[in-house]
Amino acid sequence: MSEKSISTLQDRFGESVLDTVEFRGEHTLVVKAADAKTILAYCRDELAFDYLVDISSLDNFGEEPRWTMVYELYTMANGANEHLRIKFDLNESEKADSVSDVWKTAAWHEREIYDMMGIEFNGLEDHRRILMWEGYPYFPLRKDFPLAGRPSEMPDVAFTDKAPLEGGPFVTSPTSASTVHREPRSREID
């Protein structure tokens, strides 16, 4: 990210930009949570950061604010190939503003953050869990989640008996046949 773009953001958003950090050619802007969505939309619309690489979150367990949201942006406009990171903090009771109307792919990232950390998003239409099953009462990536897990009402269906391997449709049998003939999908299954 060029120094010109950083100064443009600082000039445009003034006190909303709390800090800027440069490390090994990558720039990070720490911004106020209340203005983050506006800044992110400006980065897309005016600075051509049209690629949302990732959204992640940090659990600062034992500290306030507890959450740090991290948005990784990228632009290839005019051969720039520039990366920008936008960060902001949230208290445990706060919700982040969804940017799924800015980048459609953000909905997937926001659902995952909700599923793993329990951070909710204002304006996100779909808060279904994405990795854990519906009704799972915990958030596994929080630092207060015990390493041994928590008790669950989920039956141990997958571990009740050994899975039969011999003769299964996707198990190869020892043979001197070619790879094509050993391929399990090439066998006819009744």
Check whether 183 has a pLDDT greater than 60.
no
User: Cα(98)–Cα(141) distance, rounded to whole angstroms?
Assistant: 20
Q: What is the pTM of this model?
A: 0.77
Mean pLDDT of 124-141: 87
Instruction: Report the percent of the chain where pLDDT is more than 90.
Output: 56
Residue 121's pLDDT band, with cuts at 50, 70 and 90, is very high
pLDDT at 29: 95
Check whether 151 has a pLDDT greater than 80.
no
pLDDT averaged over every residue in the chain: 84
Decide if 39 contacts 25 (C-beta within 8 A). Answer: no
Q: Which residue has the higher pLDDT, 170 or 33?
A: 33
pLDDT at 49: 93
CATH fold of 3-154: Beta Polymerase; domain 2 (3.30.460)
**DSSP character at residue 60:** -
Domains of the chain, residue spans: 3-154
The candidate with the shortest Cα–Cα distance to 47, out of 17, 6, 105, 87, is 6
Q: Which CA distances in Å does 147 have to 53, 99, 160?
A: 29, 32, 23
Residue 41 makes CB contacts below 8 A (sequence gap 6+) with: 99, 102
Q: What DSSP letter does each residue of 72-140 carry, written as one string? A: EEEE-GGG--EEEEEEEEE-TT--EEP-TTT-TTHHHHHHHHHHHH---EET-S----SSSPTT----T
Whether omega for the bond prior to residue 65 falls within 30 degrees of 0, making it cis, is yes
Question: Helix count (H) and strand count (E) of the chain?
Answer: 4, 7
Write out pLDDT tens, residues 8-41: 999 999 999 999 999 888 899 999 999 999 999 9
Mean pLDDT of 62-70: 96
Check whether 186 has a pLDDT greater than 80.
no
